[in-house]
Amino acid sequence: MLRILVKKQLEEVFRGYFYNSKKNCMRPKWQIALYFVFYALIMVGLLGGMFTGLSFSLCGPFTVAGYGWLYFVMMGGIAAAIGIFASVFNCYSGLYLGKDNDLLFSLPIPLRTIIASRLINVYILGAMYSATVMIPTSVIYWITAGISAISVICHLLWYIMITVFVLMLSCIFGWIVAKLSQKIKNKGLISAAATLLFIGLYYYCYFKAGDLIQQVITHVDSYADKIKGAAYILYLFGRVGESDIIATLIMSAITAVVFTLVWRLMSRSFLKIATAEGKTAKIKYREKRYTQKTVFGALVSKELAKFTSSSGYMLNCGMGILLIPVGGIALLFKGKMLAEVIGNMFADKPGVLPIMICGALCTLAAMNDIATPSVSLEGKSLWIPQSLPVHAGKVLRAKACVQIILTGIPMLVACICALFVVDASVPVKILMVIVPLIQVVFSSLFDLILGLKMPLLNWTNELAPIKQSGAIVASMFGGWIFTMIMMVAYILVGYKLGAFTYLIICGVIYALAALIMLRWLDTKGAKEFEAL
């Protein structure tokens, strides 16, 4: 039974490789094979090759200097980080939020078997990614220092220690999130915020890792003494890689004890969390006046609620909401340096800086394509907005309005930040605010038309229209192409007109195109929406 459950869990993880959610059918065998070959190339070729190069650069100097254990500490830490990052997002749903919980709990299957199958699934995912670091680490070490039977055994135990450590941290994270999720109403918004925070921390550590490795290499004696004194357990962990039998036995015992504690925690809390429906607060009725919304306001609220309720929708279609103001704040700190670089590059073409900044902000805005999948996300419920006593054009306008609001407000903040960087006339600065905002309206209408022209309504997973539809690709790349044309055209010929005149022309073009698209949505687009 355990084998069957583990197979089921792995098939759920790689479901996209076997099942075509667009066409609601199984993929042909040749297509499945291509997906797995591509996956193997990414794992072995890209990740494995990258960490092989890192191992080769660290192993020789550290081993010759007598600090081979520090080499294993560093590479083991990287392997653990990669494994946790790869499995942590699957942990909560894989451990607690299975869609088949009610079915499994109703079957005569021991609870410990269900828990074990979930843990094995999380363990395998973390171990696969950790192996892209651990295997090159051992192979390069054996090439440098030689190989023996004891060394092979110790390295196998070293692998187990790291992968169990990854499993334990993933379980702890999943347990914390599961506890919090019982008390949170808007799980989609919190999930998206937690994901963004984790990604931000990961990339911060990633960019700092190079400096840290360089410092360790430069001051290896100092760091080695500090680790031995303040974190002796890390020293023992590194000694396992150098085939120290005593260190291997001690670390194996510690790993077994900690894993036992985590298993007990999981056994005691799993059933309660997996079957919990969340706390429902008792609300005392109080009579109050309800403000009636307009028809259009109700439609916009409905679209906004759909967006904020789905973490996948927010993360894949709304990254610009975060990146646009971040770009504006970055201009405040690095804008002067950027202005000098651009000024030196295009010294003979005045007014390039305002155009380049507008283009850069519009490029970030193109990462918002909230309106594109909004029609497809109606799915089988499309008949509801079609049957409302509301003109279809108003329904479509509401879908575009959400993207305009959620992109326009951050864009206004970023444009105001850009004004402190650019040394230009007041009319040019005013246009630097107006033109990007007009472009936001143009982009929102353009994205909605693409979603209306290329709908994907027969989906079984909402991520299909959000991530896998042709409209999404066309909207993002289309937005980048438009802004690229705007910047390149100014560098080639537009500088002869000057920044003020050029921005007026761009604003007029965007505004006219937006009006034409709005007219189309109210007429022909509305008819197409009703006919879907």
Closest C-alpha among 34, 221, 252, 55 to residue 143: 55
CB-based contact 482:438 (threshold 8 Å): no
The structure's pTM equals: 0.70
Closest C-alpha among 107, 366, 69, 90 to residue 236: 69
As a whole-number percent, the residues of the chain with pLDDT over 70 amount to 84
Q: How many CB atoms lie within 10 A of CB 173?
A: 19
| Cα three-residue angle 385-390-394, rounded to 5 degrees | 85
User: Residue 20 in 3-state DSSP?
Assistant: strand
Positions in the chain whose pLDDT score sits under 70? 12-13, 16, 20-24, 88-102, 174, 177-211, 213, 269-285, 290, 460
pLDDT at 228 (0 to 100): 76
Q: Count of residues for the chain?
A: 532
pLDDT at 92 (0 to 100): 61
Q: Is the dihedral of CA 511, 512, 518, 522 positive or negative?
A: positive
Buried residues in 14-35 as b, exposed as e (16+ CB within 10 A): eeebebebbeeeebeeeeeeee
Taking only the tens place, the pLDDT of each residue in 86-108 is 776 666 666 666 666 667 777 78
From first CA to last CA, the distance across the chain in angstroms is: 45
CB-based contact 121:6 (threshold 8 Å): yes
**Containing H/E element for 389?**
none
CB-based contact 137:114 (threshold 8 Å): no
Ramachandran class of 390: left when φ > 0, alpha when ψ lies in -120 to 50, beta otherwise = beta
pLDDT at 99 (0 to 100): 64
The CA–CA distances, whole Å, from 185 to 308, 462, 512 equal: 12, 20, 43
pLDDT at 409 (0 to 100): 93
pLDDT at 190 (0 to 100): 61
What distance in Å separates the CA atoms of residue 300 and residue 395, rounded to the nearest whole number?
9
Using CB atoms within 10 A of its CB, is residue 522 exposed (0-12), middle (13-18) or buried (19+)? middle
What distance in Å separates the CA atoms of residue 200 and residue 194, rounded to the nearest whole number?
10
pLDDT at 61 (0 to 100): 81
**Containing H/E element for 42?**
none
